[in-house]
Structure 1
């Protein structure tokens, strides 16, 4: 008879939508979050025999998120995620590791008191791992859409029998930035890192999106002394010139079509030279 064993496993409550309103005399402060919790520990019995004695219900995890928002407020998503992760491990003997991931959706005041508007499509992110190895905090931004209409080239690349892409000395460069950064101290204000990403994208004359990636990561490290590592994922949102010659028209880099897919995906890590990086926590899901 074949035998089987249980491999790595985890469980939790995903995408807990939380809107917190801090009432102040100067106007309301709104925090809009999407919180996901994942727990690991002595949970084999639940999988193997259906014994749930070690299982903290995912509904309880959801309720904890809401209760903590009321009890402690949300000073910052990194601190809020850390408080939650440490709580689940400290209060449940069967739970040895916790991961809390938070997405924060920015809102902007309209009348400085009670009216706000959603700010674009980007979100601020924080992921906290807590366990026997301590606490690791990674902050970031996702869906930060950037585009420059010029100051970008792409040429001198490998060519083989299947290459049809024409070299260009002037092109639109666009991407949707997904970036995370890890600090030596745990918490950092995300705005300087975000501003550094945008600034580097804007003022780097790009011969390749890979070059731009390194410039963006380097700028974050330069502007944020507590950051030791930046991870970047940059999909290349291709814009191709439309051939207007069938209509008797030229196209001096004015009319493009934006390709949805497929797209190039450039990813990389920029670290401080000689920086001590804590061991990566492996979560396989």
Structure 2
């Protein structure tokens, strides 16, 4: 017997830029992906599209909702998710992922510019899901590249016949942080929560004397949870951006830990979850 399995559809990566024109302009730069699921058997099995809300309509809805203002990306995602479920009879779950490209106001002679901006490091993310009864929100940051020039070790690891890696008590540790944190409710102080979570991730990376990137990952997630009571779970993916000491001996030169080759691949990829006591463990599958 053959049957239709789990399925969903939506509009990926709708680019949206909103300019709020007050005394000083403000910019909101988003990439929005909508994903809908529900009673969609007919369109798959017979081509009956009567229950399908076109993906083009989903795109248009994003733009129309932005006309009334965007606000925090979590709020915008929740508005859209609830709309799709509450207004489309066949849709029982909507998930809206929002990536916000952050811009900082340019300063000229110590004064903030009226309408000029520079792209800030790290992409803010928010994913809002609604199933008709319950809504939940996951916030985060991606591509937040950080580096420690010292304070990192890696030794004492298991060896087998294929191991060639040398042990080290002093290395460069660099990674591009992708972190997601789940809110206990849909009534969080979104802006403050994001600002503080990001700051605690950075502080933990800077302050942890690392004996492994896994240890650093745990320290980062733990610090966020200890300082933000509205969060119950932090998931991190940390690619190890390797920096290898260059051998300068063929040129008659020493290299006292100053010249490195920054490799882009292959790279170690460390992933893990840090949970508050009592929070359900959902495994390594992302929300």
Give me the TM-score of the superposition, normalised by structure 1.
0.94
Residues 1:252 and 2:250 aligned together: no
8 Å CA contact 2:154, 2:212 repeated in 1: yes
Q: Which residue of 2 aligns with 1:195?
A: 199
Q: What displacement does 1:144 show?
A: 0.4
Q: Which residue of 1 aligns with 2:113?
A: 112
Q: Which residue of 1 aligns with 2:9?
A: 11
Q: What displacement does 1:278 show?
A: 8.9
8 Å CA contact 2:143, 2:176 repeated in 1: yes
Q: What displacement does 1:129 show?
A: 1.2
Residues 1:52 and 2:49 aligned together: yes
CA distance in 2, matches of 1:37, 1:219: 32
Q: What displacement does 1:96 show?
A: 0.5
Q: Which residue of 1 aligns with 2:18?
A: 20
Q: What displacement does 1:161 show?
A: 0.9
Aligned pair count reads: 277
Residues 1:225 and 2:229 aligned together: yes
Q: What displacement does 1:133 show?
A: 5.3
Residues 1:92 and 2:88 aligned together: yes
Distance 1:226 1:117, change over 3 A: same
Distance 1:211 1:102, change over 3 A: same
Q: Which of 86, 98, 103 is matched with 2:99 structurally?
A: 103
Q: What displacement does 1:100 show?
A: 0.3
CA distance in 2, matches of 1:225, 1:51: 47
Q: What displacement does 1:249 show?
A: 1.3
Distance 1:9 1:68, change over 3 A: same
Q: Which residue of 1 aligns with 2:109?
A: none
Q: Which of 26, 30, 38 is matched with 1:41 structurally?
A: 38
Partner secondary structure for residue 252 of structure 1: coil
Q: What displacement does 1:276 show?
A: 3.4
CA distance in 1, matches of 2:27, 2:125: 16
Q: Could you report, residue by residue, the CA deviation over 1:179-206 in whole angstroms, capped at 9, with x for unpaired residues?
A: 0001212333201000000000001000
CA distance in 2, matches of 1:32, 1:49: 39
Q: What displacement does 1:224 show?
A: 1.0
Residues 1:78 and 2:74 aligned together: yes
In structure 1, runs of 5+ residues without a counterpart are: none
Residues 1:141 and 2:138 aligned together: no
Q: Which residue of 1 aligns with 2:173?
A: 173
Distance 1:37 1:30, change over 3 A: same
Q: Which residue of 1 aligns with 2:279?
A: 276
Partner secondary structure for residue 13 of structure 1: strand
Q: Could you report, residue by residue, the CA deviation over 1:47-96 in whole angstroms, capped at 9, with x for unpaired residues?
A: 1111100001111101100010112x111000100000000000011100
Q: What displacement does 1:246 show?
A: 1.3
Residues 1:265 and 2:269 aligned together: yes
Q: Which residue of 2 aligns with 1:62?
A: 59
Q: What displacement does 1:283 show?
A: 8.8
Residues 1:131 and 2:134 aligned together: no
8 Å CA contact 2:138, 2:181 repeated in 1: yes
Partner secondary structure for residue 15 of structure 1: strand
Distance 1:279 1:96, change over 3 A: farther
